Amino acid sequence: MFGLKKWRRSRLANRQFPDQWLAIVERNVPLYGRLPPEDKKELQRHILIFTAEKNFEGCAGLQITDEMKVTIAAQACILLLHRKTDYYPGLYSILVYPQSYLVQSTQHLAGNLLVEGPDIRVGESWHRGAVVLSWDDVRRCAADIGDGHNIVLHEFAHQLDDSSGKRDSTPVLQRRCHYITWARVLQKDYQKLRRDISCRRDTLLDEYGATNPAEFFAVATEFFFERPKELQRIHPDLYEELKRFYQQDPANLQTSIDG
């Protein structure tokens, strides 16, 4: 079975990347423009495999188009560059709403209080099976390359986190010996963000990252790719750990482009 999957992926990766798809990526995914030529080619191969293996489903009457599939796949696969990957093995479907959507949720408050009610969401990552996205927000986040917010990077960072089986911001690392440093650095910066928010100090990272360690990892991933030089300057240890995990150095790429 593994040999068949490898053979099938090799055939997909060797296909010609459609000109129409390239136009979509260049238009909708500015992060693509920061990549060197060899990374662009690798990303194209990942997109071919990802779109063939994952099921895209439109919700609330939305009809899925190639633009939606390629725009989402390109951003999701940026997280896979330079890494040994099985293409989010627990993920089977990407559910796409036209806009933000309502779900019934339960919030746990102090004193064991439970509050149930509607919650407006732009995306979510399920532990097994699916990622849910708002197409309007996918386009908006992708277009603004410098705001530090990217819903696709955020939700697919959760998918990487889930692949460890722990869901605690310790995604599958290249070497087990890296866990100690990873945990120390992320815990340090996570606690600092919580303290800064409680003291009403300005922070680079979005305060949503203080929700829990898993959300901190997802938020940090957004900033790592969208505002890498600022993250490197303000959170140098965190940047180095993300650089080692993703096997990428976006601050250096951005410096080369800006220079």
- Report which of 75, 85, 170, 59 is spatially closest to residue 67, judged by C-alpha positions: 75
Which tens digit of pLDDT belongs to each residue from 12-58?
999 999 999 999 999 999 999 999 999 999 999 999 999 999 999 99
AA letter at 3: G
At residue 162, the pLDDT reads 78
Q: What is the mean pLDDT of residues 87-106?
A: 90
Q: Tell me which residue of 97, 100, 104 sits closest to 130, measured CA to CA.
A: 97
The position carrying tokens 């260049």 is 26
What integer pLDDT is reported at residue 119 of this predicted model?
79
Which has the closest alpha carbon to 135: 58, 26, 226?
58
- What are the φ/ψ torsions at residue 115 (nearest 5 degrees)? -120, 120
Tell me, what's the pLDDT at 35? 96
Mean pLDDT of the chain: 89
Q: What does the block give as tokens for 24?
A: 């979509």
pLDDT band at 161 (very low <50, low <70, confident <90, very high): confident
List the chain domain ranges. 1-163, 165-259
Q: pLDDT confidence of 258, banded at 50, 70, 90?
A: low
Model confidence band, residue 169 (pLDDT cutoffs 50, 70, 90): very low
| Res. 105: pLDDT tops 90 | no
- The span from the CA of 20 to the CA of 2, in Å, is 31
| 82-86: long-range contacts, CB 8 A cutoff, minimum separation 24 | 82/39, 82/42, 82/246, 82/247, 82/248, 83/174, 83/246, 83/247, 85/46
Report the alpha-carbon distance of residue 89 to residue 73 in Å, rounded.
15
Say if strands 101-109 and 123-125 run parallel, antiparallel, or are unpaired: unpaired
Report the distance separating Cα 107 and Cα 114, nearest Å.
6
Supply the pLDDT for residue 168. 43
Percent of the chain with pLDDT over 90: 75
The reply to whether CATH 1.10.472.150 applies to domain 1-163 is yes
Q: How far apart are CA 138 and CA 147, in angstroms?
A: 13
The per-residue pLDDT for range 241-257, each reduced to its tens digit, is 999 999 999 999 865 55
pLDDT score at 175: 52
pLDDT reading at 112 higher than 70: no
Selecting from 3.40.390.10, 3.30.70.2860, 3.40.50.300, 1.10.287.990, what CATH number does the domain 165-259 have?
3.40.390.10
pLDDT tens figures, 192-232: 999 999 999 999 999 999 999 999 999 999 999 999 999 99
Under DSSP, the state recorded for 200 is T
| Residue 167: pLDDT over 70 | no
Q: Structure tokens of 159?
A: 């998918």
